Each structure stands twice: as structure tokens, then as C-alpha cells.
Structure 1
């Protein structure tokens, strides 16, 4: 999921080059597309992100000490904390609420979305079913994150990558 926007960028670059666009035009297009990418992940622990340098705040360690799960947003501006919750159901609810807010003024046909998970496919399935029931958005079966991303996020993470296509 975290690599989904990059994969989409590569496919878009190939599409544009085949359509006769110059390398400069493709780079310009991709630069304009970059701010339209979001990744949301719910994680059970911030320990891995602290160890890998992704988070350097005392609040992250305190969050883990309390046993809280965390919803994070990654985009071109960096990483931001969206919520700290007590259980998986709240984690799923906060992820869905964030997706609803992020997609509220967007045409669903212009969104490229990919769901992903690390460690707990059952949690991902609950998330995808509930997202579909509340929004009509469908994430298919989801993709396990790569081992590298899993080492960064830790176990039992679930999330979604979203890219809003540029108008033609």
C-alpha cells in the first residue's frame, strides 16, 4: 500500500510516454500528482516507527505504554497523527472517518485506491467490509505490505493508499 502511489506514478508515466508526451511533460504531470496522494494506516504499536526513526516523540512511547492503537496519515507533507484509540473497532472507525473526510469532495471514479495489511488479514477484511458498507468504496482483497514496510510499521497494521487522478 505504501508503494501503491509510486506504482501508479510509474504506470502513469508509461501511459503518458506512449501517448507521445515528453519526459519534461511527464515529470511535470507527476509533480502535480504528488500532492494528490495519501496513505492512511492504523497500527497496533508505534514501537517499530520509533526504532526506525519514523517517529521521534516521547508521546509515541507513552501511546504504546497505554496500549493505544494509532491512526497515521502519510502524504507529501510528512506524517501526521490522526487518532489514538483503545481497540480494533475504534481503529477501523477512525480510518473510515478519515477516508470519508479525505474523499468527501472527490469523484470516486477519479480515485485509485489500494488496501493493505501487515500480519492480520482478518482485521483487514473487517476494515474493507465496513468501509464498503459505509461508503460504497471497494478495496478488493487487499495486499500484504512488503517485508520492508512491515518491519517499519510493525505487526497488525491495516490501511489504504489513495491517489486522486488529475483531470484530463
Structure 2
């Protein structure tokens, strides 16, 4: 493939050529964000693979490791990670099977299930975080650009009512 060829730029050109000029910039933006997400996720996945973790499972372990007690109601973990309850159940099932988290009944609310990180989960998330910080320390932008991008993305999420 030609190193100078950018498929997203070509898609933009085609959008304009087909009379969708009013949507071309938005299509380019959305497609660029989605491609950047794919590239970043691939880096994260490669980094977490030796730990047998997906990013979703890593996020749950990290969230639990940050709590004072090491546990949260599953509904609260779901809300904080902004995932569907089914995705949370799947992540907890896999992590529990690996001995990294444990479910327990809430002591005061019989309808609530707590998910808590185990000692093995704490150890693993610590190691995985050290590895993952190599990705986070070099996200592909220099600091001034990163500051601008973080501001723009925060504004964009607010505009979309995140």
C-alpha cells in the first residue's frame, strides 16, 4: 500500500464528490476517532495479553483496586465503567473463574451483590498497570497536542451528553 495514501482522506474526497459536502467533515471526524480507537485498543490488547486480561477486565480490576474496601456493588461498578450490566456480569464471571475477584452478598441489602478484588487480582492488576503505563506514557501525541486533544474530547463528550 502507498505510504502516502490515507483511506480516510480518500473517503472524505468521495463524500464531497458524491454531493455530501455538508457531512464530509463529520464523517472524517467520526471515522478518524473510530480508527484511532482501534489502533489504541490494539496496543492495549497486545500489552495486556501476557496477563490474560482484556481492557474491560483490567478496568474492573483497577476500579476495585482503587476503592477503600476493594469491593463495590456490581451496579455501581457497571455505572462507573459505563458498561451494560450484561458486560459487567461477563467480566465478573471470567475474573471470578480466574480467582481474581469474588462475589459476596451485600451485608445490608439482600438484593445487592458485591464484587471484590482478591489478593491475586491486586497483584495482577499492579503488574498489568506497570506494563500498561508504557502505552499511557506515549499515546502518540506530544504534551501540548495532548492537552488540546483532552480538552476537545471532554467538550465533545459533554456535547453528546455523556
Q: Write 1 or 2 for the structure with the bigger share of strand.
A: 1
The answer to whether the superposition gives a TM-score over 0.5 is: no
Q: Write 1 or 2 for the structure with the bigger share of helix.
A: 2
Please give the TM-score of this superposition, normalised by the length of structure 2.
0.26
Structure with the bigger RCO (C-alpha within 8 Å, sep 6+) is 1
Larger Rg: 1 or 2? 2
Please give the TM-score of this superposition, normalised by the length of structure 1.
0.26
